[in-house]
Amino acid sequence: MDHRADLLPLQARGYGGGRTVVKDYVRTQRPRAIGTAEARFYVKPGQQLQLDWVDMGVVTVGEVQRKLIDLTNTVHAAGHDHASVGRLKY
C-alpha cells in the first residue's frame, strides 16, 4: 500500500483531507516488514578458500581478440592472509 497511490482515488471520491492522514492510516494497515537474518559461519584458519573474479573485457593481441578474466584466490590463516592473482584468457 502506498499512501500517494491511495490519495488520488480518495480525492476523486470527494476526500478533502491531506496526505498525512492517509499516510498515517496506511501505516497502521500495512503488514510489518520482517527483518532478514544474516547467516554467519566460521571456519578454522586454512579451511576455506575465497575466489573472486571480474570480467576485464576484451583485449586485442595482434589481430586476435580475447576475453580477459581476472581471478583472485584468498586463504585466511591464523593472522595471515595469502592472496594469489591469475588472469585467464579465452
Return the exposure string of 17-45: e unless at least 16 CB atoms fall within 10 Å of the residue's CB, then b: eeeeebeeebeeeeeeeeeeeeeeeeeee
- How much is the pLDDT for 14? 87
Q: What is the mean pLDDT of each run of 10 residues along the chain (90 residues)?
A: 72 85 83 79 78 87 87 73 60
- How much is the pLDDT for 88? 56
pTM as predicted = 0.36
Count of Cβ atoms closer than 10 Å to residue 55 Cβ: 9
Query: In sequence order, what are the beta bridge partners of 53?
Result: 71
- How much is the pLDDT for 77? 67
- How much is the pLDDT for 61? 84
Report the SS3 class of residue 67: strand
- How much is the pLDDT for 83? 61
